[in-house]
Structure formats: C-alpha cells, structure tokens
C-alpha cells in the first residue's frame, strides 16, 4: 500500500492530535490543534489539567489523513475530563482510550496507530467497528431462504470480519452527539446490496458515547432493504490496561460471566458444540489471571494459540436489559474495564496473532499476548449453525444492540 500521506504531514497531524493533545480536556476549539502542532510540549498537559478540573464534556474534530481515493478521514476526540477517547471516521475506529490509573496517572490503553496508512496496511482490526459479519463464516458461504451467498475469503478458507473489505476499511459518516450527561459520535455507513457478497442494502448507525461516569456506550443499529441478510456487528478494540505497548497481559485478572463456550476446529470455526467451561482453562467465573492456564495442554488452547473463543454469556440481565459480561483488572496500576452487553456471546481473544512485526502508536512493537480483545457479538459462523441464535435480519426489522465498556480502577 503506497504511503499516500506525506510522512511529515502524518507526523504533524499525529503530533497535533495525539500524544498529550488527545489527553487534553479543553477540546472545544480547532484552533487549539493548529497551535499545538508547532507548540511546546507543555501546552497539552496544561490543557489536560484544565479539562480534568472542570470535568466538562467536550469534543473536537481534526483531520487525520486522506485515503488513496482522496476521501478525507477525521479524528473525533471526546472527553469527560477524566477519560478521553479518539475515534476515526476510518472504520469507525477507536484510536485512543486514555484513562487514569489508581494514582491518577493517565495512559492510552488501546492499541492503534498515529497515521492512516498504517491503519489501511497493517491493522489487525485495532479498535474498528466490524461488519457486516463479525468473526468467521465457514468457507465464506451460507444459504439464506434457499439462496447461497459467497463472501470473499480472507482467513485461510474462511471469511473473517466481513470479508476482504469489511466495515473496518470504510470511511463512515460522522455526527457529533451530545446530551447533558454524555458526548460522542454517531457513525453511519450504507453497505450496498451485494457488497462483499452479502444480500440486501444494509444501513448501519453505530453511536459511541462517553458519559460522566466513565461509561463508553456503543449502540448498534441496522436495517436492511431489498433482501434479508445476516448481521453481526461488534467493535474490535484491543486493550492493555497497563498502557498500550507495555508488554504482556498475562497478569490481567479476568472475570467472565459464562458457563459455556463454543469449541472450534483448526480453522477456528465452531464445531457446533456448546461446551461447559467447568473444570477447564475456560472457566473465568472466579477472577483468574489470563496467563495462569494459557500455556497448558488443553487442545482448544493449542488450536487457538491461546484464547480465541466465543463465550456463551450467562446470568441475569441487570440495568437496561444488559448483563454483566466481563471485568478485566490490571493489578499493578489498578485499571479496570467492565463490559455489559445484551449480546448472547463474546469473543475473548488474547492477542495471539500479534507477532512483533510492526510498531504501534507509542512506537513499540506489539508481540503475542500484548493485548486482549473482548468482542461482544452473536456466535461465529451462526449463518451455518442451526443451533446458534439467529443472525438473520429481514426488511422491516431493526437490528439494535448495546454494549458498555466502563473504565475504572481498583
């Protein structure tokens, strides 16, 4: 992929936005970005401090780059004065998540890049909104109402995360959203009938909002026109709660509210079995370090090169029809992220395919197990698995689901 953005511009843009400035609480004026591009390093910190004191909900928009086709990509940065999130219109991608640790020290805890070419060429879905179908469809093929559809395969013989050019590689429309209690961005994308082989024109809006209590709420909505289709949207943010690029997540403690999971074959396609976690390394009902059993001899850990499995979420729903799905805790700095969702499953992925071949946003190589993803969703390969909850969406129906990531410390 050609380096279509002049390198210097990439660096200047990143400098203006990221690394300090993105942590800034005072985000109301785009003039701030222009000034900071050439200004001394102290300024962003001063802004960050101001934001933290006022606890204000603020948002700003800045240019992030241009695609080879000449489409402008923006970065939206929104904050509640404590947590600051940057999102790109490229892939409706979470680029940065800055949260304080137990002692109030703020770091970026999400993996990503500081420039668009790296997202386009290198990203294993860092922070991206995934569609039309999250995770794998066996051989990229499924039959719906008697018609067989073929998605271009991009993961061995299977289709992963919507095929070769999924929603993560599209430039989404963006609209700022604000309430008294929250601020964020509504991203929308219309996927034409037949795109990546999927039937029906799918209109999708995914709204990301941050409230004053450090909840990042993701509301997914979609409708289809013309033909029925299958939909499974998720977000693929990777976290390291000690800071991105800081090493392994082996010591992160995980509590996962699931009493079963869906074992997979060598191509990571579910076998169709719903297997109990009890007595296996997949049981995280009692909080357990991720690394505690990762190197054991369970065949499913070997097949997945670690955890790369869909968990069947259980238990009662609590507020808003959502249920507690998982809590991750990094004991050293004390950051936590807690996930609530209305989805039936979640892919817990221990960063097995990160292999140190490229540098991330903080100029550190990401190696195997340096981050985790927890993708709330329907089960992989549902279009071919009659005993899994259905992912079919028909004209006239609305697909609507919600997931909340809550940032905290303990």
Feature table: binding site for beta-D-galactose: 135-136, 236-238, 308
Question: What's phi and psi for 209, nearest 5 deg?
Answer: -130, 145
Q: Establish if 377 lies at the interface with ligand BGC (CB under 6 A).
A: no
List b or e across 328-362, with b for residues whose CB sees 16 or more CB atoms inside 10 angstroms.
bbbeebbbbbbbbbbbbbbbbbbbeebeeeeebbb
Q: Say if CB 407 and CB 216 are below 8 A apart.
A: yes
Residues in the annotated binding site:
135-136, 236-238, 308
Q: Given the complex with ligand BGC, which of 201 and 375 has the nearer CB atom?
A: 375
Residue tagged 């879905």 (tokens)? 125
**CA–CA dist 336, 253 (Å, integer):** 9
Q: Establish if 194 lies at the interface with ligand BGC (CB under 6 A).
A: no
Q: Establish if 268 lies at the interface with ligand BGC (CB under 6 A).
A: yes
Question: What's phi and psi for 349, nearest 5 deg?
Answer: -125, 120
Query: Burial level of 292, CB count in 10 A (0-12/13-18/19+)?
Result: middle
Q: Establish if 269 lies at the interface with ligand BGC (CB under 6 A).
A: no
Residue 375 a catalytic site member: yes
Give Cβ neighbours of residue 15 (< 8 Å, ≥ 6 apart): 21, 36, 37
Of residues 299-318, those binding ligand BGC (CB under 6 A): 308
Q: Establish if 257 lies at the interface with ligand BGC (CB under 6 A).
A: no
Q: Say if CB 168 and CB 184 are below 8 A apart.
A: no
Binding mask 76-105 for ligand BGC (x = CB under 6 A): ------------------------------
Smallest separation (angstroms) from ligand BGC to the CB of 124: 4
**Secondary structure (3-state) at 297:** coil
Q: Given the complex with ligand BGC, which of 36 and 350 has the nearer CB atom?
A: 350
Question: What's phi and psi for 325, nearest 5 deg?
Answer: -105, -45
Q: Given the complex with ligand BGC, which of 209 and 377 has the nearer CB atom?
A: 377
**Secondary structure (3-state) at 357:** coil
User: Which residue of the set 58, 244, 330, 375 is catalytic?
Assistant: 375
**CA–CA dist 5, 114 (Å, integer):** 12
Q: Establish if 62 lies at the interface with ligand BGC (CB under 6 A).
A: no
Angle at 388 between CA 382 and CA 394, to 5 degrees: 60
Q: Establish if 270 lies at the interface with ligand BGC (CB under 6 A).
A: no
Smallest separation (angstroms) from ligand BGC to the CB of 262: 12
Using the rule CB under 6 A, which residue among 135, 209, 376, 385 binds ligand BGC?
A: 135
Q: Establish if 349 lies at the interface with ligand BGC (CB under 6 A).
A: yes
Q: Establish if 125 lies at the interface with ligand BGC (CB under 6 A).
A: yes
Q: Establish if 123 lies at the interface with ligand BGC (CB under 6 A).
A: no
Q: Establish if 384 lies at the interface with ligand BGC (CB under 6 A).
A: no
| Active-site residue list | 236, 375
The binding site for ligand BGC (CB under 6 A) comprises: 124-125, 135, 268, 308, 347, 349, 353, 375
């Amino acid at each position: 992929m050609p380096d279509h953005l002049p390198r210097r511009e990439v660096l200047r843009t990143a400098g203006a936005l990221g690394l300090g400035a993105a942590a800034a609480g005072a985000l109301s004026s785009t003039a701030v970005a222009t000034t900071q591009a050439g200004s001394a390093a102290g300024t962003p910190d001063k802004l960050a401090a101001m934001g933290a004191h006022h606890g204000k909900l603020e948002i700003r928009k800045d240019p992030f780059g241009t695609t080879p086709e000449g489409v402008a990509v923006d970065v939206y940065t929104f904050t509640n004065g404590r947590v600051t999130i940057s999102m790109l219109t490229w892939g409706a991608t979470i680029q940065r998540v800055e949260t304080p640790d137990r002692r109030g020290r703020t770091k970026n805890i999400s993996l990503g890049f500081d420039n668009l070419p790296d997202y386009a060429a290198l990203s294993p879905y860092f922070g991206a909104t995934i569609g039309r179908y999250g995770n794998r469809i066996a051989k990229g093929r499924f039959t719906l109402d008697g018609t067989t559809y073929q998605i271009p395969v991009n993961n061995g013989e299977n289709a992963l995360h919507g095929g070769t050019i999924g929603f993560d590689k599209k430039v989404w429309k963006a609209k700022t959203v604000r309430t008294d209690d929250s601020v964020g961005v509504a991203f929308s994308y219309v996927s034409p009938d037949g795109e990546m082989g999927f039937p029906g024109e799918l209109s999708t809006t995914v709204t990301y909002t941050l409230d004053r209590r450090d909840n990042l709420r993701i509301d997914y909505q979609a409708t289809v026109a013309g033909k029925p289709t299958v939909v499974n949207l998720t977000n693929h943010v990777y976290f390291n709660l000690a800071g991105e690029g800081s090493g392994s997540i082996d010591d992160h403690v995980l509590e996962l509210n699931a009493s079963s999971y869906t074992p997979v074959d060598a191509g990571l396609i579910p076998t169709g079995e719903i297997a109990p976690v009890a007595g296996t390394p997949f049981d995280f009902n009692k909080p357990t370090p991720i690394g505690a059993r990762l190197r054991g001899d369970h065949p499913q850990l070997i097949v997945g090169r670690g955890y790369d499995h869909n968990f069947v979420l259980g238990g009662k729903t609590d507020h808003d029809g959502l249920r507690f799905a998982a809590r991750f805790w990094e004991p050293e700095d004390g950051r936590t992220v807690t996930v609530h969702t209305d989805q039936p499953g979640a892919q817990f992925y221990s960063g097995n395919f990160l292999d140190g071949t490229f540098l991330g946003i903080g100029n550190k190589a990401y190696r195997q197990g340096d981050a985790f993803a927890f993708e709330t969703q329907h089960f992989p390969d549902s279009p071919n698995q009659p005993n899994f909850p259905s992912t079919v969406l028909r004209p006239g129906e609305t697909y609507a689901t919600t997931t909340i990531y809550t940032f905290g410390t303990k």
